[in-house]
Amino acid sequence: MENDYIMKLVNCSQEYWEFVRRLRNDERVADGFIETEKITKSMQINYMRNQAQNYRVAILNGSALGYVGVIDDDFRICTHPDFQGKGVAKFMINESLKIWPNAFARVKISNVKSLKLFKTLGFKEKYIILTRDI
């Protein structure tokens, strides 16, 4: 019972795939992503069949708080809006770096919260990739 109150980072097993999809599609977090295509259930299943081993989910008291993935050493991270500003993303990144120590983050310039988070964790700006809004 005591361990229920400790945040954990668990493998993204099939039971979490829909949580990840819904959070990824949540309008409240959409602005933070570089790619904004809506993910269908079938798209998610196909993707996770190949990539689930590269994702983890933050859990507290049996509830999923957010997810983190590292594909080609590039972070994908999202915290549910109800849990933002509570250290969840920092926890997920720190734990992920134990698994993927060479991971880096591509962050939109307009995503001030993510820029601040990664800088707080010691990440340095190395490149700026410019893209055009379409």
What is the pLDDT, as a whole number, of residue 29? 93
Q: DSSP H helical segments within 70-111, as ranges?
A: 88-99
Domain count, the chain: 1
Q: What is the pLDDT of residue 109?
A: 82
Task: Name the amino acid, one letter, at 100.
Answer: W
Asked if the model's pLDDT at residue 132 lies above 70, the reply is no
Q: Using one digit for the tens of pLDDT, what is the confidence trace for 1-39?
A: 455 679 999 999 999 999 999 999 999 998 888 788 899
Residue 58 domain flag: yes
Calpha distance 14→48 (Å, rounded): 8
CATH number of the domain residue 27 falls in: 3.40.630.30
Which residue type, as a one-letter code, is found at position 38? K
**CA-CA distance, 54 to 5, in Å (whole number)?**
25
Query: pLDDT tens, 51-107?
Result: 999 999 999 999 999 999 999 999 999 999 999 999 999 999 999 999 999 999 988
Quick one: pLDDT at residue 13? 98
Query: pTM for the full model?
Result: 0.89
pLDDT tens digits, one per residue of 33-44: 878 889 999 999
- Average pLDDT score, the chain: 90
pLDDT computed for residue 106 by the predictor: 87
Distance CA 32, CA 106 (A): 11
Q: Per-residue pLDDT for 134 more than 80?
A: no
What are the start-end ranges of the E strands in the chain? 8-11, 55-60, 63-71, 74-79
Q: Which long-range contacts (CB under 8 A, 24 or more apart) does 102-111 make?
A: 102/73, 103/70, 103/73, 103/74, 103/75, 104/73, 104/74, 104/75, 105/74, 105/75, 105/77, 106/34, 106/74, 106/75, 108/31, 108/32, 108/33, 108/34, 110/31, 111/31, 111/32
pLDDT bucket at 130, cuts 50 / 70 / 90? low
Query: Is 126 a domain residue?
Result: no
Domain contains 16: yes
Q: Round to whole Å and give the CA distance between 13 and 19.
A: 11
Domain boundaries, position 38: 2-120
